[in-house]
């Protein structure tokens, strides 16, 4: 009841503010300056947060193609300022109708080598982001759909400079050169190398007329311009003609449906934290970790100190043990969402944490409503992008999009790269004793994701913060650490994003190399933790609202993100 009263009070507050009719400060935080500029231009025309997100994403698919694009999927969390409503939009890829549980098994029944499964049509799921963007635009758009495509079309036709990060990704992705379309796009003849081609370097001007033509078709025809006709035919041809072929059909594409779902929300301290429900594991796992940590006074502990990091690691290990066993596409398998977030269950899990000693490998619990499942191996790669946008009316978008690994399945169609999201399924459909794996492959099923777009409301139900990150299954740890820095330690958004990364996926504690956090390794090891040091290239983008109502943004210095701000006087009304 208290939560309901808080939210009702917040609705009255935001309605009173909205009734004034005056535009407020707007802000965008995306993974690339050109995407942020496209989003800001849309906001300046009076566009909504969803309008700006679509414009930014279409640019990202061009200038950051290793991470996301229209050949993949996304999860979008939207908060409407005027009503206080939170919506979750699911644009996750689906397995084609031909997919079976043994999709990634060799003839002897053993799982395929990971990269053998990735490269080619076998790993490509039916892309979902175009339908999802259309669904969100129908509900929350203000500018015409076709207007949102203009920045990306212009860049694709006129050319854009290859960024250092894209050039680095191209240099590390030699299998791209085996795909004729990709080779023609991103490589140049060079007799000094055995295969006669070298990927382009930083600063090279690229044009992509095929992508521009595809976008113009979708701009004019809506989703049908992607899921039917020449673009759909190009996708199916690329998937089915590869040596490692997949079984996608035109019917799979035409039948794809985006889904609006209920977000998962839970109180943490005086805040309300909301995330994506299954098929993403991000929202549930994040809330489970926070629910266990709520039993400890993290705000009194030294930020990023040994005790705080020990507690964070232990709670993360316990949550990941449950994630790996119980979380998958809830339209296909029973996921005990209420049980996993049950306060008594999380208190029992938190009681397993010894403040001075690691529990080692955590075992899955028995949340209320759970059925017998087996753990599924998670081997996804870190190729994803996140954007956060607040428009002049206070509406908020937190969206994470992906083609799974860098450059997805390493094949192109109609100017864009196709995803390899099906490798997010467990390769083995059951354990040796026959116990089924929740995240096994099935036709029409959506693979489990770790994408964690997050929106936080304050004690009055007002927007407080929104954030997310790329990073495969490490996304959850990146987001949780940043939330603790914001909510418990009162960091600014940029300050929270800048902190060294620390995470635990129910394995070793991972400390970000080349940062001062590595000095804590001996102390953590003395508590029984296995510790490894590695580069942890999060790509957090976030926006927070201060006590004075002003927005402040943060972009991860580990990547190429940019925050841009629009003052109220710069906002016009849509024509």
What is the DSSP code string of 175-194? GGGGSHHHHHHHEEE-TTST
- Looking at the predicted structure, is the pLDDT value of residue 382 above 80? no
Plot region of 426 (φ>0 → left; ψ -120 to 50 → alpha; else → beta): beta
- What's the 3-state SS for 234-269? HHHHHHHHCCCCCCCCHHHHHCCCCEEECCEEEEEC
- Range of weakest confidence among 84-98, 367-381, 462-476: 367-381
Q: Beta 264-268 vs 271-275: how paired, if at all? A: antiparallel
**DSSP element (H, E) containing 455:** strand 454-457
> For residue 295, how many other CB atoms are within 10 A of its CB?
15
- Looking at the predicted structure, is the pLDDT value of residue 205 above 60? yes
Give the tokens for residue 380: 């996804």
**DSSP element (H, E) containing 77:** strand 73-80
- Looking at the predicted structure, is the pLDDT value of residue 232 above 60? yes
Plot region of 54 (φ>0 → left; ψ -120 to 50 → alpha; else → beta): alpha
Predicted confidence (pLDDT) per residue in 79-120, tens digit: 999 999 999 999 999 999 999 999 999 999 999 999 999 999
Plot region of 298 (φ>0 → left; ψ -120 to 50 → alpha; else → beta): alpha
Predicted confidence (pLDDT) per residue in 491-514, tens digit: 999 999 999 999 999 999 999 999
- Range of weakest confidence among 137-151, 252-266, 378-392, 490-504: 378-392
Query: What mean pLDDT do residues 145-166 have?
Result: 98
Query: What mean pLDDT do residues 262-291 have?
Result: 98
Tokens 């927070």 correspond to what residue? Answer: 544
- Looking at the predicted structure, is the pLDDT value of residue 2 above 90? no
Q: Residue 14 has what pLDDT? A: 33
- Looking at the predicted structure, is the pLDDT value of residue 372 above 90? no
> For residue 500, how many other CB atoms are within 10 A of its CB?
17
Q: Which residues of 430-459 are buried (b: 16+ CB within 10 A; e: fewer)?
A: eeeeeebbbbbbbbbbbbbbbbbbbbbbbe
* C-beta of residue 475 within 8 angstroms of C-beta of residue 556: no
Alpha carbon separation from 350 to 35, 290, 346, 431 (Å, rounded): 41, 10, 6, 28
Residue 556's nearest CA partner among 477, 472, 470 is 470
Query: Where residue 377 falls among pLDDT bands split at 50, 70, 90?
Result: low
Residue 413's nearest CA partner among 169, 158, 221, 127 is 127
* C-beta of residue 53 within 8 angstroms of C-beta of residue 39: yes
Q: Residue 10 has what pLDDT? A: 32
How far is 318 from 312, CA to CA, in rounded Å? 10
How far is 398 from 465, CA to CA, in rounded Å? 10
- Looking at the predicted structure, is the pLDDT value of residue 425 above 60? yes
**β-strand partners of 273:** 266, 456
Query: Where residue 40 falls among pLDDT bands split at 50, 70, 90?
Result: very high
Selecting among 285, 384, 388, 423, the annotated active-site residue is 384
Rank 1-15, 20-34, 426-440 by mean pLDDT and report only the highest. Answer: 426-440
- 236's CB contacts (< 8 A; 6+ apart) are 248, 249, 250, 253
For 530, phi then psi, to 5°, come to: -85, 130
- Looking at the predicted structure, is the pLDDT value of residue 443 above 60? yes
In the DSSP assignment, the letter for residue 394 is -
- Range of weakest confidence among 13-27, 30-44, 386-400: 13-27
Question: CB burial class (10 A; 0-12, 13-18, 19+) of residue 30?
Answer: buried
Query: What mean pLDDT do residues 28-52 have?
Result: 98
How far is 38 from 44, CA to CA, in rounded Å? 10
Predicted confidence (pLDDT) per residue in 516-540, tens digit: 999 999 999 999 999 999 999 999 9
- Looking at the predicted structure, is the pLDDT value of residue 49 above 80? yes
Query: Where residue 378 falls among pLDDT bands split at 50, 70, 90?
Result: low
- Looking at the predicted structure, is the pLDDT value of residue 290 above 50? yes
- Does 435 participate in catalysis according to the annotation? no
- 186's CB contacts (< 8 A; 6+ apart) are 170, 176, 199, 200, 206
Q: Residue 13 has what pLDDT? A: 28
Query: Where residue 18 falls among pLDDT bands split at 50, 70, 90?
Result: very low
How far is 499 from 485, CA to CA, in rounded Å? 9
Residue 261's nearest CA partner among 371, 128, 373, 389 is 128
How far is 51 from 144, CA to CA, in rounded Å? 9
The CA-to-CA distance between both ends of the chain, in Å, stands at: 42
Query: Where residue 437 falls among pLDDT bands split at 50, 70, 90?
Result: very high
- Looking at the predicted structure, is the pLDDT value of residue 193 above 90? no
- Please report the domains of the chain, with CATH numbers, ordered by start residue: 261-380+448-568 (3.60.20.40)
How far is 361 from 82, CA to CA, in rounded Å? 46
Q: Residue 17 has what pLDDT? A: 33
- Looking at the predicted structure, is the pLDDT value of residue 283 above 70? yes
Query: What mean pLDDT do residues 14-30 have?
Result: 64
Coil, strand or helix at 301: coil
Average pLDDT, the chain: 94
- 49's CB contacts (< 8 A; 6+ apart) are 43, 78, 140, 389, 390, 391, 395, 396, 397
């Amino acid at each position: 009841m208290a939560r309901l009263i808080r939210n009702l009070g917040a609705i009255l507050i935001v309605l009173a503010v909205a009734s004034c009719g005056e535009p407020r400060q707007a802000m965008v935080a995306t993974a690339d300056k050109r995407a942020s500029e496209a989003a800001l231009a849309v906001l300046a025309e009076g566009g909504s947060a969803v309008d700006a997100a679509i414009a930014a994403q279409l640019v990202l698919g061009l200038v950051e193609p290793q991470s996301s694009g229209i050949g993949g999927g996304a999860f979008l969390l939207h908060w409407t300022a005027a009503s206080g409503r939170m919506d979750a939009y699911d644009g996750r890829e689906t397995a084609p109708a031909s997919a079976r549980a043994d999709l990634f098994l060799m003839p002897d029944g053993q799982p395929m080598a990971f990269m053998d499964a990735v490269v080619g049509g076998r790993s490509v799921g039916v892309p979902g982001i175009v339908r999802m963007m259309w669904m969100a635009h129908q509900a929350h758009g203000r500018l015409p759909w076709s207007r949102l495509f203009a920045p990306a079309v212009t860049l694709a036709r006129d050319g854009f400079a290859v960024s250092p990060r894209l050039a680095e990704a191209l240099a590390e992705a030699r299998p791209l050169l085996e795909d004729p379309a990709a080779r023609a796009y991103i490589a140049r003849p060079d007799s000094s190398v055995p295969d006669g081609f070298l990927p382009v370097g930083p600063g090279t001007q690229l044009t992509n007329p095929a992508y521009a033509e595809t976008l113009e078709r979708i701009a004019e025809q809506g989703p049908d311009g992607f899921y039917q006709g020449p673009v759909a035919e190009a996708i199916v041809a690329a998937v089915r003609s590869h040596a490692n072929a997949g079984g996608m059909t035109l019917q799979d594409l035409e039948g794809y449906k985006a889904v609006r779902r209920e977000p998962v929300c839970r109180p943490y301290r005086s805040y309300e934290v909301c995330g994506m429900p299954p098929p993403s594991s991000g929202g549930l796992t994040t809330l489970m970790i926070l629910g266990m940590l709520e039993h400890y006074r993290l705000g009194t502990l030294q930020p990023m100190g040994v005790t705080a990091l020990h507690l964070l690691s232990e709670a993360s290990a316990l949550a990941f043990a449950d994630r790996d066993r119980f979380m998958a596409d809830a339209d296909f398998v029973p996921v005990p969402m209420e049980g996993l977030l049950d306060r008594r269950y999380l208190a029992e899990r938190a009681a397993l944490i010894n403040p001075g000693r690691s529990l080692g490998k955590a075992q899955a619990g028995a949340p209320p409503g759970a059925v017998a499942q087996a753990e599924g191996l998670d081997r996804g790669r870190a190729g994803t992008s996140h954007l956060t946008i607040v428009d002049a009316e206070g509406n908020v978008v937190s969206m994470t999009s992906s083609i799974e690994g860098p450059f997805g399945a390493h094949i192109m169609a109609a100017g864009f790269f196709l995803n390899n999201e099906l490798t997010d399924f467990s390769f083995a459909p059951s354990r040796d004793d026959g116990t089924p794996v929740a995240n096994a492959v099935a036709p029409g099923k959506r693979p489990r994701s770790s994408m964690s777009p997050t929106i936080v409301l304050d004690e009055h139900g007002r927007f407080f913060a929104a954030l997310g990150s790329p990073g495969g299954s490490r996304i959850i740890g990146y987001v949780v650490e940043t939330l603790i820095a914001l909510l418990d330690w009162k960091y600014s958004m940029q300050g929270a994003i800048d902190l060294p990364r620390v995470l635990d996926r129910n394995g070793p504690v991972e400390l970000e190399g080349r940062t001062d956090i590595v000095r804590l390794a001996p102390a953590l090891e003395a508590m029984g933790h296995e510790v490894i040091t590695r580069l942890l290239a999060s790509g957090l983008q976030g926006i927070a609202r201060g006590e004075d109502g002003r927005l402040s943004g943060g972009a991860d210095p580990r990547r190429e993100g940019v925050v841009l701000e629009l003052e109220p006087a710069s906002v016009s009304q849509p024509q």
